[in-house]
Amino acid sequence: MNNDNIDDRYHTTSWDGRQVQRAAGHSAGQQPKKKKKKRRTNPLLALVLWVAIVAASSAICAGVGWMLANDFAALNKPYKEVDFEVKESWVSSVEEEIKENGEKKETTYYDMSQVAEALEKEGLIEYSWFFRLFCAFTHADAKITQGKFALNTNMDYMALIRGMRMRGGTAETVDVAIPEGYTVSQIIELLAEKGVGTAEDLTEIAEDYVFEDYEFVDNENLGSLSRLEGYLFPDTYNFYVGARPELAFNTMLSNFKTKVYNNEDLAELMGESEYSLSEIITIASLVERETDGGDRDKIASVIYNRLENVGETNNLLQIDAALVYAASRPITQEDYTSLDSPYNLYQHTGLPPTPIANPGIAAIRAALMPADTDYYFYVLDPETKQHVFSETLAQHNKAVAEAAAKAEN
């Protein structure tokens, strides 16, 4: 045992000090503190409060949940149809992916907050924040496309997203018949008139967009509409209204690739020709603009005869349609000598630098299979509406005089 501890038991100094302090406290009127007793909570009351809180919370959650469910499932909404437009300005990003087979896949992502706000404004949804949340889980930003769509209040969230997709079948479409011999400028004007896109957007795409999938398109020299000239295949198309403008051009270029570039019969003829694809299409465009009848092969023969033989024209094609293309307006007599352009075939020998229009299959076949003639000239007979062909300048001058006399009468 520790002796120090034993001794401490017999020391009274610390005990006396505590006694003095307690005595002083009592003398000053202070009472010793008493412990407060805890009040016991009524178990029944606690249970009632707990049940009330749970019930209120459940009711609130149920109410909110029911409202959100109604909006999500399009329940109890008055019917309303809306022409809804997904705008190009809503595009947030575009990503390009190279597949294993070398094909390119382009994915366009949209800012769904703008989509949701527009849907709410049109009355198609009530809670834009909840729609955005749904879109985040379903990756809807990559599932919609630009364009105008017919939507209504009977569509639930998923139906709305499907309704804003081109392949969903609900987008507004328009049939556009592109005539043979139309220029790129005329095609743009027609597309804008039909609502496929604005003239400004279509022009910008035609001039500067890189169409990598089509090797016949000049993607090096951007900035001119003529780079697409000849390759927008004339046909009747069903375009989406207000879609991305490059889609319309892609459709026409793809049609050319299928019906001309990858056409086995035409490919065989082109392989036998001494002329390149662009030259064949240029000749076809000249043929297309010079006639609307059944003499395309004879017109083509005149072009080839002038290209390949000095003849009486010194390799000058002297085709008015090319001069009209250069002037972008009706030509005057002065234009033949004063209009400085490589498309002025009265001053420049050989073919123009590009096609002057978009020819159809008949004109392309005529360019590949011209008639076998010695014709160098032709003039339109105003009565028969047919061309009169001549081998010599003297014969041609006579035919021109006769045509002028008929026109006067």
- In terms of Cα–Cα distance, which of 333, 237, 352 is closest to 289? 352
- Residue of higher predicted confidence among 49 and 34: 49
pLDDT score at 359: 97
Average pLDDT score, the chain: 85
pLDDT at 239: 86
Same domain for 233 and 205, yes or no, is yes
Tell me which of 261, 291, 317 is where a domain ends: 261
The answer to the question of residue 369 being in a domain is yes
Q: Say yes or no to pLDDT of 311 above 90.
A: no
Domain assignment of residue 384, yes or no? yes
Asked if 198 and 140 sit in the same domain, the reply is no
Count of structural domains, the chain: 4
Q: What does the alpha-carbon distance between residue 391 and residue 377 come to, in Å, rounded to a whole number?
A: 6
pLDDT tens digits, one per residue of 205-257: 999 999 988 999 999 889 999 999 999 999 999 887 777 788 899 999 999 99
How distant is the alpha carbon of residue 18 from its chain centre? 94
Please check whether residue 33 lies inside any domain of the structure.
no
Tell me whether residue 236 is in a domain: yes
Range of weakest confidence among 94-98, 166-170, 272-276 = 166-170
Q: Are residues 91 and 178 in the same domain?
A: no
User: Does 282 share its domain with 239?
Assistant: no
Of 120, 135, 168, the one marking the end of a domain is 168
346 & 364 share domain: yes
336-345: average pLDDT: 94
Does residue 234 share a domain with residue 203? yes
Q: Of 225, 361, 398, which Cα lies nearest the Cα of 280?
A: 361
Kindly state whether residue 15 falls inside one of the protein's structural domains.
no
pLDDT at 23: 47
Q: Is residue 321 part of a domain?
A: yes
Same domain, 366 and 380: no
Structure tokens at 156: 């639930």
Whether residue 13 is predicted with pLDDT greater than 50 in this model: the reply is no
pLDDT at 127 over 50: yes
Q: What is the CATH number of the domain that holds 130?
A: 3.30.1490
* Whether 101 and 132 share a structural domain: yes
**Strands 173-177 and 236-240, how do they pair?**
antiparallel
Render pLDDT for 393-403 as a digit per residue (tens, 0 to 9).
999 999 999 99
- pLDDT (0 to 100) of residue 64: 60
Domain extent at residue 301: 276-373
Q: What size, in residues, is the chain?
A: 409
Average pLDDT over residues 93-107: 76
- Residue 1 pLDDT > 90, yes or no? no
CB 144 within 8 A of CB 86: yes
Q: What is the pLDDT of residue 15?
A: 45
Asked, for residue 266, whether it belongs to a domain, the answer is no
Interatomic CA distance for residues 245 and 91, integer angstroms:
14
Judge whether 267 lies within some domain.
no
Question: Could you tell me if 147 and 115 lie in one domain?
Answer: yes
- pLDDT class of 101 with cuts at 50, 70, 90: low
271: pLDDT strictly greater than 80: yes
Distance CA 246, CA 293 (A): 33
The average pLDDT across 87-92 equals: 90
* Spatial distance between the Cα atoms of 346 and 367, rounded to a whole number of angstroms: 21
The pLDDT value recorded for residue 96 is: 79
Q: Do 125 and 159 fall within a single domain? A: yes
Same domain flag for 285 and 369: yes
Considering the domain architecture, whether residues 131 and 200 belong to the same structural domain is answered as no
Domain boundary among 168, 185, 215: 168
SS3 track for the chain: CCHHHHHHHCCCHHHHHHHHHHHHHHHCCCCCCCCCCCCCCCHHHHHHHHHHHHHHHHHHHHHHHHHHHHHHHCCCCCCCEEEEEECHHHEEEEEEEECCCCCEEEEEEECHHHHHHHHHHCCCCCCHHHHHHHHHHHCHHHCCCCEEEEEECCCCHHHHHHHCCHHHCCECEEEEECCCCCCHHHHHHHHHHCCCCCHHHHHHHHHHCCCCCCCCCCCCCCCCHHHHCCCCCCCEEEEECCCCHHHHHHHHHHHHHHHHHCCHHHHHHHHHCCCCHHHHHHHHHHHHHHCCCCCHHHHHHHHHHHHHCCCCCCCCCCCHHHHHHHHCCCCCCCHHHHCCCCCCCCCCCCCCCCCCCCCCHHHHHHHHCCCCCCCCEEEECCCCCCEEEECCHHHHHHHHHHHHHHHHC
* 3, two tokens: 């002796």
Q: Give me 280's structure tokens.
A: 């064949």
Instruction: Judge whether 226 and 354 are in contact, CB under 8 Å.
Output: yes
